[in-house]
Structure 1
């Protein structure tokens, strides 16, 4: 492990593991604070694309850092075998752990959606699309503040420049990504819409028994609100879901527009007259 990293931090136990590396808890003897150290094994970067993605991740994290709802990067070290990123430590259960245990009320769901969409909008204003918005990448710190994490699939867009490539996770990926077309940053809005649907219904909007079947359901984009799951959900929440999970990208809301939707502005309490009768 990097000598300069060891001079600044005491690296402790493993707290996570991914495709390219391991996350450790680390401690700064100077500040007395705990951090997460994401160590990537360069020997696992099998080609130039993997290396480029890793270098881009650090660059993007520096660019979007500063938003209170995005995991912060503090230091970057490199040695012969590894690259080490010192990141904000988030030890509370992630959103995946929470949504697999129970269904959320509308007010609980908006308490997640508001900071999540603020983080996504912040990235989009800086020309960055996350491209892998899913509950596993939505963390919470010790004060239960939401933190968007893992920018390993993120990419730049802007000035008419679109993105390409099948990246993301089957349940959450947008149809234009699955179809192989070039796409814009609204893929993140679709993914966030899937998360909102799951929080309110306890099931994903598009599903199948394999990745292929899930992709086929996503491409069909047949959005339904089963009475069994949505009998108590407001028409305002369903309106937002329709506008986030809209196959027509030109009609799909932007992140900024989601933040201005009545359901978000009301704290999840927006109701139409039909909901009240």
Structure 2
């Protein structure tokens, strides 16, 4: 562990453990803000891809902070053996924990997706695509404010420029990524759409019994709304889902367009299209 970290912060109990390291609660003597430190053991990094992902986290968070819906970074310490990142402290449960038992109401889902899209719009305006939006990467602080986290797969994009490379998580990845095409920041909008679908229904829109079958389903992108599940979901919500998960990424909404959709603006009020 970095000695400079221990001279500046007081480390407390372990609150989490991941593939590459451990998360501790920590305190700065001159601040009342509760923080957490992610201590990464470099000896556990398997290859250059792992290193790039871990280097991305502080780099992109530093650019994007502060934003009310993006996890805030406070400090970074590094030596030959460890990388330590001091972050704002969040609740132990993610959005995944909130939706795993029961679908949310339209109003609850709209409130969450609005905050998430505000974070995504901020990222895209600064030329950053997250590329791995999923409920596991959505945290909540002590006051229940949404925080988009884990920018290990993030990438820069320029005006009109596209990205490449297969990254993301099976249920949430956009079809153009799996097809090996160059793609735009709209891959994040697709992932947000999948997340919204799951919040409203409790099931993913594209699924299979194996990763290969899930990918095949995503590539087909045959978006359906089973009547027994979506009977009480408004047509405005379904309209937004179609525009966020449009297989043709040219016609798919940008994050700003999704944020301006009437269903979001109304707070998820049960409206229906004529």
**TM-score under structure 2 normalisation?**
0.96
Distance in structure 2 (CA, Å) of the matches to 1:135 and 1:185: 19
Distance in structure 1 (CA, Å) of the matches to 2:118 and 2:67: 9
Question: How many pairs align?
Answer: 274
Instruction: Give the match for residue 18 of structure 1.
Output: 18
Instruction: Give the match for residue 51 of structure 1.
Output: 51
Secondary structure of 2:13's aligned partner: strand
Instruction: Give the match for residue 216 of structure 2.
Output: 216
Instruction: Give the match for residue 85 of structure 1.
Output: 85
Contact 2:235/2:273, CA 8 A, preserved across alignment = no
Cα deviation for residue 44 of structure 1 reads 2.0
Between 1:240-249 and 1:157-166, the stretch displaced more is: 157-166
Cα deviation for residue 45 of structure 1 reads 2.2
Does residue 201 of structure 1 match 2:201?
yes
Instruction: Give the match for residue 268 of structure 1.
Output: 268
Instruction: Give the match for residue 111 of structure 2.
Output: 111
Instruction: Give the match for residue 95 of structure 1.
Output: 95
Contact 1:8/1:30, CA 8 A, preserved across alignment = no
Change (3 A) 1:273 1:118: closer
Gaps of 5+ in 2: none
Instruction: Give the match for residue 176 of structure 2.
Output: 176
Distance in structure 1 (CA, Å) of the matches to 2:227 and 2:209: 23
Kindly report which structure 2 residues correspond to 1:218-257, keeping only aligned pairs within 5 A, or say none: 218-257=218-257
Secondary structure of 1:86's aligned partner: strand
Instruction: Give the match for residue 129 of structure 1.
Output: 129
Runs of 4+ in 1 over 3 A off after TM superposition: none
Does residue 154 of structure 1 match 2:151?
no
Distance in structure 1 (CA, Å) of the matches to 2:53 and 2:143: 31
Distance in structure 2 (CA, Å) of the matches to 1:31 and 1:56: 26
Gaps of 5+ in 1: none
Between 1:145-154 and 1:4-13, the stretch displaced more is: 4-13
Contact 2:106/2:270, CA 8 A, preserved across alignment = no
Secondary structure of 1:51's aligned partner: helix
Contact 1:198/1:205, CA 8 A, preserved across alignment = yes
Distance in structure 1 (CA, Å) of the matches to 2:19 and 2:155: 19
Cα deviation for residue 270 of structure 1 reads 5.1
Contact 2:197/2:204, CA 8 A, preserved across alignment = yes
Between 1:161-170 and 1:75-84, the stretch displaced more is: 161-170
Instruction: Give the match for residue 4 of structure 1.
Output: 4
Between 1:175-184 and 1:189-198, the stretch displaced more is: 175-184
Distance in structure 1 (CA, Å) of the matches to 2:11 and 2:168: 30
Distance in structure 1 (CA, Å) of the matches to 2:72 and 2:17: 19
Distance in structure 2 (CA, Å) of the matches to 1:169 and 1:48: 20
**TM-score under structure 1 normalisation?**
0.95
Query: How large is the RMSD of aligned CA atoms in angstroms?
Result: 1.3
Cα deviation for residue 101 of structure 1 reads 1.4
Cα deviation for residue 125 of structure 1 reads 0.3
Change (3 A) 1:76 1:273: closer
Cα deviation for residue 215 of structure 1 reads 0.5
Distance in structure 2 (CA, Å) of the matches to 1:93 and 1:44: 25
